[in-house]
Amino acid sequence: MALVHTSHFQPRIFPLKGTQDPTEIDRLQDMRADVTLNRTKIEEIGREGVVDWRKGSPAVTLSLTQLEYGSIELFAQLANKAITSNKVENTEFKTSAVDIVGYKTDDDGNFLSSIWYPKFRLSGLGLNIGDPDALVERTFTLVGEDEITLKNDNKYFIYKEFNASGGSPETFSVSDPTPSQDPDNSGQYLFRVVRVRGNTTTELTHGTDWSYDGAGTLTVNTTNAGDVIKVYYSASSYISGQEPFVANDSDLSGILANSASIYLVDTSNYLYALQSVSVDVTFDRFDVKEVGNEDVIARGVRDTTVTVTLGRILKQWTIEEVLRGVAGLDFGKIDIRKFQDELALIIKLYENSDKSTFKIGYKFTGLAATGLGTGVGLNDYVNRSATLTGESFFITTDENQL
């Protein structure tokens, strides 16, 4: 059997809430999964060997690295917002969830399988400008409980969406392709049926809210006109005339560091001589389970931590002057005890280095300086770093919002 090269691994994202269509994940550079099965060995006094293994819910961490290319699409999908949105705020990731699916084809062109990460939640993200010549990168960390490989007669992960006219019950034709039976659940063919009614998304219960006859007919027991029914299943073939992954040749391939403008507090304080910019966002997730159920029943975030690290060659004291609140005053003393808080970092990214076409921006607010560092090496230039910490941010494609 031929191997699977990364050029034949095609990633897609499916938002759980709302009616936004799934999309491919563009400019992805790296995707890694770390799976912990959470199995506990049970032994007892008076007996040699293992009595049994208790199986807890697995813990799966999914890490994505993506080139910054000036599109807000992935942020919007992770927040379960329309990809036409021009702004995504940190609070919008609290209750959102997505399915990530990788479609695998070998070097001989044979489709092998789909790897499915269902109902994953964003637990962190980052933005990194490694040096003045680097491509700007984004990173994302998601958490969930499952990794499912679909293969053989179930090798294609399929998503369908239907508009309800209203009925009790109402039927829908689930075909092209016809669902394959779930190998783990005899007589079941659909993994999930979801109803979107207005701004409310509800996962419907099999046997109570819906049924499937095994021959292409889905019955939803109660619908209202305007409901959207979302159906997830596996099949031996893909949707006729469609491909899981459509190459994006219209957006930028990537954005270089020379196309970035970095400001502290506001756009009057441009930061010069920067060598690196690193932003790390961590969500302290509070995803709730319950006794008698292995699934997460509610999603939330207790707290958000934003850590910004700015590295530069020591040429000017602009950062320290801004932190002290004396920028532009030709002030003669910088006392770290008097540094201000409630600061903002603004990152503007443009199409190219002439900075005439704005593409995307990041604004991190409520920041306070939490650390400074100075490096003095033999026969080298003095370098200086500053670390700021906060908890709020947004991403936008509208420069006026920055």
For the chain, the 3-state helix, strand and coil shares in percent, each to the nearest 5, are 10, 50, 40
Q: How far is CA 241 from CA 161, 176, 177, 284, in A?
A: 17, 10, 11, 42
How far apart (Å, rounded) are the C-alpha atoms in residues 347 and 364? 9
Torsions phi, psi for 243 (to 5 deg) = -125, 150
With pLDDT > 90 as the criterion, what percentage of the chain qualifies? 67
How far apart (Å, rounded) are the C-alpha atoms in residues 68 and 28? 10
Q: What is the per-residue pLDDT for 57?
A: 80
38-72: string of b/e by CB count within 10 Å (b at 16+)?
eeeeeeeeeeeeeeeeeeeeeebbbebbbbbbbbb
| Span 130-150, average pLDDT | 95
**Count of Cβ atoms closer than 10 Å to residue 371 Cβ:** 11
Q: What is the per-residue pLDDT for 378?
A: 46
Band of residue 68 on the pLDDT scale cut at 50, 70, 90: very high
Q: Which range has the worst mean pLDDT, 84-93, 182-191, 224-233, 271-280?
A: 271-280
Q: What is the per-residue pLDDT for 4?
A: 54
Q: What is the per-residue pLDDT for 292?
A: 59
How far apart (Å, rounded) are the C-alpha atoms in residues 402 and 49? 63
Band of residue 353 on the pLDDT scale cut at 50, 70, 90: very high
Q: What is the per-residue pLDDT for 393?
A: 97
The two tokens of residue 176 are 């092209």
Nearest to 27 by CA among 348, 354, 280, 255: 255
Half-sphere exposure of 209 (CA within 13 A, CB side): 11
The two tokens of residue 131 are 């040096």
Q: What is the per-residue pLDDT for 316?
A: 57
Model confidence at 90: pLDDT above 90: yes
Model confidence at 324: pLDDT above 80: no
User: 372-393 pLDDT, tens per residue?
Assistant: 765 545 444 446 678 899 999 9
According to DSSP, the residues that pair with 9 across neighbouring strands are 104
With tokens 């294609």, the residue in question is: 156
Nearest to 401 by CA among 365, 366, 368, 362: 362
Q: What is the per-residue pLDDT for 335?
A: 75
User: 302-322 pLDDT, tens per residue?
Assistant: 889 999 998 865 455 567 777
Q: What angle do CA 365, 370, 372 make, to 5 degrees?
A: 120
Model confidence at 368: pLDDT above 60: yes
340 contacts 366 by C-beta, under 8 angstroms: no
197 contacts 226 by C-beta, under 8 angstroms: yes
Q: What is the per-residue pLDDT for 297?
A: 60
User: 145-203 pLDDT, tens per residue?
Assistant: 999 999 999 999 999 999 999 989 999 999 999 999 999 999 999 999 999 999 999 99
**Count of Cβ atoms closer than 10 Å to residue 384 Cβ:** 21
Q: What is the per-residue pLDDT for 365?
A: 95
Q: Give the residue with greater pLDDT, 17 vs 54.
A: 17
Band of residue 223 on the pLDDT scale cut at 50, 70, 90: very high
Half-sphere exposure of 17 (CA within 13 A, CB side): 21
| Span 272-281, average pLDDT | 90
Contacts of residue 369, defined as CB under 8 A and 6 or more positions apart, other chains included, come to: 323, 336, 339, 341, 343, 386, 387, 388
Q: Quote the distance between the C-alpha of residue 115 and its chain's center.
A: 17
